[in-house]
Amino acid sequence: MNPLEAPARSFAELLTSFGEAVQANDGQRLAALFTEDGVYEDGFFGAHQGRDAIARMLARFHETGRDYRWDFFDPLTDGRIGYAHWRFSYASKMPGAEGKPVVFEGMSLFEFHGDRIARYGEAFDRGVAFVQQDFPAERLRKILLKTAQAQNATPECREHLARFADATKRAAS
């Protein structure tokens, strides 16, 4: 597919192009699936906005792993948003875990603007990926604590947490 063409005629085709670009470390092809200011929010590397940033992020993927495979299942879309279940695997390049196979499953949310991805986000258990690389418990705790803190700092999560602070205040009165 020419990266300047429309990314796909269907959501399933877009998912195939998306996975193939990641597997091939083709940052330009992956970035072309996004709007100019599109956001790719990766569960390991965080949010990257704009095609250049998305392409650079993909290069980071390939600095930490090799032999990627990304299979998507059960795609659903209404043309505005899309969801898909997936299985992702690679061989680690992380120091001390070189060559260790890593596999995990998750869900993706795609938000579209026209025929391009405006925002991509994913949900998966990072701990499952890290434990397969024999990360020590303290390192896992630090990584997951940082993830929890970032999540809980969002306005949506702060709203959820505020009710516990209010309940504590009521109980103390």
- The string of pLDDT tens digits covering residues 106-160 is 999 999 999 999 999 999 999 999 999 999 999 889 988 988 998 899 999 999 9
Query: Confidence band (pLDDT; 50, 70, 90) for 173?
Result: low
Beta bridge partners, 69, equal 89
What is the spatial order of strands in the sheet that 81-92 belongs to?
Answer: 46-49, 34-42, 116-124, 101-113, 81-92, 65-77
Query: Confidence band (pLDDT; 50, 70, 90) for 2?
Result: very low
Given a contact cutoff of 8 angstroms between Cβ atoms, the answer to whether 8 and 17 are in contact is yes
Predicted TM-score (pTM) of this structure: 0.85
pLDDT in tens, 10-51: 999 999 999 999 999 999 999 999 999 999 999 999 999 999
Query: Confidence band (pLDDT; 50, 70, 90) for 6?
Result: very low
Residue 100 pLDDT: 97
Q: Where are the domains of the chain?
A: 11-135, 136-173
pLDDT in tens, 98-115: 999 999 999 999 999 999
Query: Considering only the top CATH level, what class is 11-135?
Result: alpha beta
Please name the helix (run of DSSP H) or strand (run of DSSP E) that holds residue 9, with its range, or none.
none
User: Encoding tokens for residue 12?
Assistant: 């399933």
Residue 172 pLDDT: 72
Return the higher-pLDDT residue of 169 and 100: 100
pLDDT in tens, 40-74: 999 999 999 999 999 999 999 999 999 999 999 99
